[in-house]
A and B are shown apart, each in its own frame.
Chain A
Amino acid sequence: NAGVTQTPKFQVLKTGQSMTLQCAQDMNHNSMYWYRQDPGMGLRLIYYSASEGTTDKGEVPNGYNVSRLNKREFSLRLESAAPSQTSVYFCASRTGTGGAGADTQYFGPGTRLTVL
């Protein structure tokens, strides 16, 4: 199992450009999450999908949109990138069912995004 995969690993954008960050998990998890991590900070939740077919805003959703394409894939789109969106973006997933391990989140390796 690959776990949670993210593409691309690195990206440089100019202000105003758009891009989509891709995330996929092969663990048959129900819930998926997008976080951003700024230097010296913990993770902040951007959007999440508690189950296939649903998406909801997290703590810092402005400037982002998401799509839960199917149970495996959850993408994050920046429509018009701004320098304030320079960050490391992490995708995570969680089963949400099945007892003891239901709440554990599994993280991808991250996408390092720079907006000039």
Chain B
Amino acid sequence: SQQGEEDPQALSIQEGENATMNCSYKTSINNLQWYRQNSGRGLVHLILIRSNEREKHSGRLRVTLDTSKKSSSLLITASRAADTASYFCATAPRGSGNTGKLIFGQGTTLQVKP
């Protein structure tokens, strides 16, 4: 069974608008990561937030983590057509040690219209 559930499953916005994707998970974690997947390609790492962090920024990306609600959000500001992709959250379960095991959500498909 998958750890994460993402919401919405699909999102369509105009270029320049902000896009927000949410991820909920079930068990305690060491960290939560967000990945992007362009159509037909492998996944690319975007950002990692540790369990003791609440917010992190990287360029136009802002990630928040609420461990009490077991949820995270990814905000992409001033979106561009090139941001069109699927976005996945992935959690590293507490107790997984240094295995690096990740459990992925089902993803949000983002379409940014020019």
Contact = CB atoms under 8 A, between A and B. Distances in A.
Interface of A: 4, 31, 33, 35, 40-45, 48, 50, 56, 58-59, 90, 92, 94, 96, 103-110
Interface stretch (B11-19, B63-71, B72-80, B97-105): B97-105
Nearest to B86: A42
Interface string B83-114: 00000101010000011111111110000000
Given A42-B2, A50-B98, A104 B48 contact: yes
10 contacts: A31-B99, A33-B101, A40-B106, A44-B104, A45-B102, A59-B1, A96-B98, A103-B33, A103-B100, A107-B44
B11 to A, nearest CB: 15
Greatest chain A CB density within 10 A among B33, B40, B98 is at: B98
Contacts of B43: 43, 90, 92, 105, 107
A103 B42 contact: no
A106 B45 contact: yes
Interface in B10-31: 31
A41 B106 contact: yes
Interface string B26-62: 0000010101000011111100100000000000000
Interface residues of B, number: 26
Nearest to B4: A42
B27 to A, nearest CB: 13
Contacts of B42: 4, 90, 107-110
B29 to A, nearest CB: 11
Contacts of A110: 40-42
B99 A103 contact: no
Give the 7 A-B CB pairs with smallest separation, nearest first.
A42-B104, A107-B42, A43-B104, A107-B43, A50-B99, A104-B45, A42-B106
Contact of A58 (B31, B92, B101, B107): B101
